[in-house]
Amino acid sequence: MISSRSFLETNVAERSLASLARQTKRFNFRSVGNFEYLVNGEYRVDLEFTILETLERDEIIHFDSPALQSKLSVFFSNRHFLLLNDAIWDLKTGMAFTADRKTGVAETSSRSIDQLRSTVLPVAFRPQTLYSNKLYLILPSNGYYHWLLEDLPNFLHTFNLDSKVEVLVWKGAPSYVFDFLRLMKIDHQMTERFMRIKNVVTLSHSGNSGFTSQQDLRVLRSFFDCVEVQDLGVEKCFVSRLGSSRSPFWEPELLQIMENKKWKVIQFEKMKLSEQIAIAKNARVLAGIHGAGLSNMIGMNHGGVVELGGESFRKCYLALAKVCSLEYTRLGFNEYKEYTPKNLVRKLAKEISASY
């Protein structure tokens, strides 16, 4: 198992300091879309923060796949380590609120205010106050995809900046959050969901939700080097979604066929975080219906991914496969409308097996 100290030593070179590192200034904070303007002092709200350092990340990734109707390019801009003063925090989403408890500070989240308001509470509900002058770092507890690919890299980058910070986590966080803390042997304090905290250090997001940068992938893979490969004797894994809202009614029959074809059916949500990554490290092919389990492809260093989906094509796993240097195949089961459910399952099983 890797220690926190050795993790920091191996990743300290990932940080590039900008000129602001020694010339800290105080700015007012607004939102993702207005971040450039707030740095120039053109906006003013109640919440203030200090820029500690800049994490340089001038990176452009180009996507070109048969699954796309046109080419796609994503630019990843620089991010900033911020010290936020006397903010109210939602420890589930990792989003800060201004003193009026209503205005969300979007730069502390990978998603925009509008996205967050459509899925989570838009106000800080009865926040408790943490009376301390210590420096705190929050580990959010969003859904597995956003936590693994957006929250966790930001946490690791920031913990890399200063491992002496006090780590806070919502007491109702999912098990994979606590799995990570145990794996890293990080002391932490459990709190209520909404907390008013004097000093919190965080890494600003860049509004690229759904797209993972090479920089974040490196910090994730460096951490997961501590996880040993779990040899199941099977290199082809199918991620089951049974029990979830996205599981189609014909999935049980599909799983049976895949098992007959010597595929290993996996239910990642029932496993510890280290077990999920260990299985992915051993896999040559990871297939499944669109869902968070496919994000474990970050553990794979070869092979490919097969994603099954409906009419709505979310490009996040296409993009992640590109960054991970994996082959990617998408099978849209809405394209087989003329098939009966039984024939659809057989067709999909045949297509999946033929992919790799």
Mind spelling out the 3-state secondary structure of 182-201?
HHHCCCEEEECCEEEEEEEE
Within-domain flag for 146: yes
* CA–CA gap between residue 96 and residue 84 (Å, rounded): 9
**Of residues 281, 316, 319, the one with CA closest to residue 302:** 281
Beta bridge pairs of residue 170: 191
Residue 5 is predicted with a pLDDT of 33
Domain end call among 179, 200, 226: 226
pTM above 0.85, yes or no: no
Six-digit token pair at 46?
A: 């109640």
Q: How many domains does the chain have?
A: 2
Residue 31 is predicted with a pLDDT of 38
The string of pLDDT tens digits covering residues 87-100 is: 889 999 898 887 67
Q: Are residues 222 and 241 in the same domain?
A: no
Which residue's structure tokens are 């029959």? 253
Within-domain flag for 231: no
Neighbours of 14 (CB within 10 A): 16
Q: Are residues 46 and 178 in the same domain?
A: yes
Q: Are residues 350 and 316 in the same domain?
A: yes
Cα dihedral sign, 179-181-187-189: negative
Residue 336 is predicted with a pLDDT of 77
Q: Are residues 284 and 222 in the same domain?
A: no
pLDDT below 50 — which residues of the chain? 1-45
Six-digit token pair at 58?
A: 């001038």
Question: Which residues span the domain enclosing 31?
Answer: 4-226
Q: Are residues 187 and 283 in the same domain?
A: no
Residue 323 is predicted with a pLDDT of 93
Distances 47 to 7, 24, 81 between C-alpha atoms, Å: 33, 17, 16
Within-domain flag for 193: yes
CATH code of the domain containing 339: 3.40.50.10140
Q: Are residues 259 and 210 in the same domain?
A: no
Q: Are residues 177 and 252 in the same domain?
A: no
Strand duo 79-90 + 48-55: pairing:
antiparallel
Neighbours of 333 (CB within 10 A): 20
Q: Are residues 317 and 188 in the same domain?
A: no
Q: Are residues 30 and 169 in the same domain?
A: yes
Cα dihedral sign, 309-239-256-348: positive
Residue 62 is predicted with a pLDDT of 85
Residue 333 is predicted with a pLDDT of 82
Domain end call among 226, 245, 268: 226
Q: Are residues 47 and 92 in the same domain?
A: yes
Distances 309 to 314, 320, 323, 353, 355 between C-alpha atoms, Å: 9, 16, 20, 16, 15
Beta bridge pairs of residue 74: 61
Q: Are residues 146 and 247 in the same domain?
A: no
* CA–CA gap between residue 204 and residue 5 (Å, rounded): 24
Domain end call among 226, 251, 284: 226
Residue 11 is predicted with a pLDDT of 40
Q: Are residues 206 and 252 in the same domain?
A: no
